[in-house]
């Protein structure tokens, strides 16, 4: 006996379904850079249940042309440590993969680049 719903009820009433992506199976759809701030719009393969059809928008600092060698891009936040030439660092920001998310990311890149110039 206790107060509130049982854990079993909470699990069934509030299901969580997390779609796992394969960070090695992606295609870069668009890229934009300004003063060392860089945004990419990605399409991940095998993500039919993911929001925006598996599209993600990630922003990086000082990536320059390093993205050309990236073979692994995990859009999730993690430690900001250099992981090697073929593994992308953790993004500094992430936006929805929709057209609106891409436009918002471009504004974020431009604003951040302007702040870095000051």
pLDDT tens readout for residues 81-93: 666 778 888 899 9
pLDDT at 88: 87
pLDDT in tens, 55-82: 999 999 876 677 788 889 888 777 756 6
pLDDT at 10: 37
Average model confidence (pLDDT) across the chain: 80
pLDDT in tens, 31-50: 999 999 999 999 998 766 66
pLDDT at 45: 86
Find all residues with CB under 8 Å of 31, minimum gap 6, and list them: 38, 39, 40, 41, 67
Beta strands in 1-118 (DSSP E): 26-34, 37-44, 55-61, 93-96
Task: Express as a percent the part of the chain with pLDDT over 70.
Answer: 75
What is the model's pTM? 0.75
Q: What angle do CA 32, 84, 22 make, to 5 degrees?
A: 70
CA distance 82 to 76: 15
CA distance 21 to 33: 25
- Which residue in this structure is represented by tokens 């006996």? 1
pLDDT at 77: 78
């Amino acid at each position: 006996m206790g107060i509130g719903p049982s854990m079993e009820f909470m699990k069934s009433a509030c299901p969580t379904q997390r779609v796992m992506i394969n960070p090695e199976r992606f295609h870069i759809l668009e890229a934009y850079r300004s003063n060392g701030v860089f945004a990419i719009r990605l399409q991940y393969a095998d993500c039919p249940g993911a929001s925006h059809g598996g599209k993600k928008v990630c922003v990086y600092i000082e990536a320059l042309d390093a993205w050309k060698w990236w073979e692994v891009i995990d859009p999730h936040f993690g430690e900001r440590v250099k992981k090697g030439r073929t593994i992308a660092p953790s993004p500094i920001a992430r936006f929805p993969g929709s057209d609106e998310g891409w436009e918002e990311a471009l504004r974020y890149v431009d604003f951040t680049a302007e702040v870095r110039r000051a």
